Amino acid sequence: MKELTHYINGQRVSGSSGRFGDVFNPATGEVQARVPLASKEELDAAVEIAAKVQPEWGAVNPQRRARVMMKFVDLLHRDMDKLAEVLSSEHGKTFPDAKGDVQRGLEVAEYCIGAPQMLKGEFTDSAGPGIDMYSMKQPLGVCGGITPFNFPAMIPMWMFAPSVVCGNAFILKPSERDPSVPILLAELMEEAGLPKGLLQVINGDKVSVDAMLANPTIQSIGFVGSTPIAEYIYGTGCANGKRVQCFGGAKNHMIVMPDADMDLAADALVGSGYGAAGERCMAISVAVPVGEETADRLIEKLAPRIEKLKVGPYTAGDDVDFGPVVTSAAKQNILNLVQSGIDQGAELVIDGRDFSLQGYENGFFVGPHLFDRVTPDMDVYKKEIFGPVLSTVRAGSYEEAIGLAMNHEYGNGTAIFTRDGDTARDFANRINIGMVGVNVPIPVPLAYHTFGGWKKSVFGDLNQHGPDAFKFYTRTKTVTSRWPSGIKEGGEFNFKAMD
């Protein structure tokens, strides 16, 4: 069986803790590798190395750091298929989805090529008599990131790319479920010219997370995952004096108005609700048609589309719409929530519980599910399912529909489908959710804007990527400068000339 490693000081290093986690092939259910779970001592040793090499890197001018990122982008293009293949084999997502995962991270790296512009300070000439004032954006030092299983390429790049281009060292603790791609990314960064020790990958579990939170050298922590863990990391990190940025759960609503293009809306719901097996924080998991007639029309359009979805292993190529979920536990959690929806009175229009694939009977496959007549008191509505399950909540009016999204505890993303510009504008202005789509089902901003939700979907003041990333990974220093310019008398300055 393959034994994976950490990546420390430019080398793949075997774990020394004696603890390991299983890495599955989600399509077959078989264990394909073991990943080491680092001890506190291993984490601290990696941080010590990073702290030693960071000052020299932080002194490199931003233009030269940006050139490393430029080369990194070229290498990502070169190795796109290789990265996607490894990603799919551990995560289970289809090959096109895996390439999209890499691509969205690549776009953030492209944005980071503009670091010289983003890191410019401000200058005021003659702020006072003979006084100039200017600000500098300086690196934090050593930063850390804890990333989830569902985007093992994209989210690490969202964190380490802006961090290192700002002059920091970075310690990455990826998900132990699909840990191979982050190490490949670290190797590509060094091939691009990043000095050894500046980007290190430490595999692990809660022991590693707690070690990162406790280590005084780590100045900032980024996290993406569930809301309970986000709250824990945010609270603990802040208590330990760190800058912390945590992104939690989601329950994204898509409102469908009576005037919407129903075919467009149905296609959007299928793509956003079932793509990547629903394992993404920007998936639409709640459809909210306004009016009974709209709801009936929408279900009529949705059902045949969902029934035609093809589920299978990534090796089946473009013939598959989505693959298995990541673990057996994830599959069981999805099926438990589906059963709760049935028990609590929702109408199961499409039932994927008995889905089985010949030759892959032990894989973690879940067929697509569609619920109708879901109500806000049901678990399938309240909880993040993170699977191929779409719930339909019928609203009697636009105000009721917008109230559903506004009153939910999560506020990551939302969308509205309508032909009416006034309704769309009102929705975008009033909704208390961080990312909004108008006739766009997954409103993930491009790399030069920022990504982030509201309410219990986020903990911290700054979003990911875009301009906020350069704010998060630097601290501002303001200098007030006054140079004596008086007339010399007897070899001494006449400071009265400055009054």
Residues with catalytic function: 281
- The DSSP bridge partners found for residue 288 are 255
How far is Cα 438 from Cα 442, in angstroms, rounded to an integer?
A: 10
Q: What separation in angstroms does the CA of 421 have from each of 124, 257, 298, 416?
A: 44, 12, 21, 11
Position 205, amino acid: D
Show Cβ contacts of residue 365 under 8 Å, excluding neighbours closer than 6 positions.
27, 311, 312, 323, 324, 325, 331, 355, 356, 357
Q: How far is CA 401 from CA 290, 332, 382, 397, 416, in A?
A: 7, 31, 15, 6, 10
What residues pair up with 243 in beta bridges, in sequence order? Answer: 220
Numbers of helices and strands, H then E, in the chain: 16, 23
- Cα(239)–Cα(231) distance, integer angstroms: 12
Instruction: State both tokens at 151.
Output: 């985007």
Q: Which two tokens stand for residue 35?
A: 């990943």
Which residues face 132 on adjacent strands?
A: 481
Calpha distance 149→154 (Å, rounded): 10
CA 29, 388, 300: angle at the middle one, nearest 5?
140
CA distances, 482 to each of 127, 132, 317, 499 (Å)? 10, 7, 66, 12
CA angle 191, 86, 27 (to 5 degrees): 170
Estimate to the nearest angstrom the gap between the alpha carbon of 70 and the chain centroid: 22
